[in-house]
Amino acid sequence: MALSKVFVSLMLLISLISTVSSTGVIGSKVLPPKKAPVAVAPAYAPIYSPAPSPIAVPPTPAASPPVYAPVRRLIAVQGVVYGKPCSDWGHDTLMHASPLPGAEVRLVCHGKPKENPLKIIAVTDKNGYFFIPPTKKVSEFGAQKRCRVFLQSAPTNSKFIHSTHMNSGLSGAYLRYTKPAKPLPFALYTVGPFAYEPLPSVCHQKV
């Protein structure tokens, strides 16, 4: 009898559980049915920022070659002084002239306005040739404009004592660049040739 009651109670409990599962009712509460998720479209189409363009890097400029200051060489000046005979007196010619040793010439180079000019004296040798060696005070930069050579004085006890204007010997001859036969450690310039002649009174006495 007792087993029959237990069996009946189990059957009722199983029936109750089946009813709750099918109706969704637990006691007096009703659970709402589950809804499937609904896909919602975005309000605006997505905007994608463009990928940044690559930055153009300028090419590295080629290295400039080094700039060197021009080498300013020192200068030397050369020339020849002649003695003209009375037959050529007053004429701009050296046809019958001979080298005059012992004559003095003067190199004058002007610098800045407030500086004293540079003066160098040279004496001709037995061939009438003179050479003014380089000095650290004068370079080839502007030498042809700043420097001139003048006749300074005639040889002592010489009949050729009258200076002439030949090749600007009195007013000052500008330097002419001379290309040497072989390389030199200085820039070589030339002036003249210059000339002396006898005094007019000496030549007129012989006429």
For the cut 70, the answer to whether the pLDDT of residue 85 exceeds it is: yes
Q: Is residue 70 in a domain? A: no
What residue numbers bound the domain in which 128 lies?
A: 75-206
Could you tell me the CATH number of the domain that includes residue 122? 2.60.40.10
Number of domains in the chain: 1
177 falls within a domain: yes
Residue 66 belongs to some domain of the structure: no
- State yes or no: pLDDT of 206 exceeds 70: no
**Average pLDDT over every residue of 95-118:** 91
143 within some domain: yes
127 lies in a domain?
yes
Most confident of 3-7, 27-31, 126-130: 126-130
For residue 180, what are its two tokens? 């040497």
Q: Look at residue 81 and tell me if it is in a domain.
A: yes
pTM of this structure: 0.65
131 domain-assigned? yes
Q: Does residue 199 form part of some domain?
A: yes
Mean of the pLDDT values across residues 105-131? Answer: 92
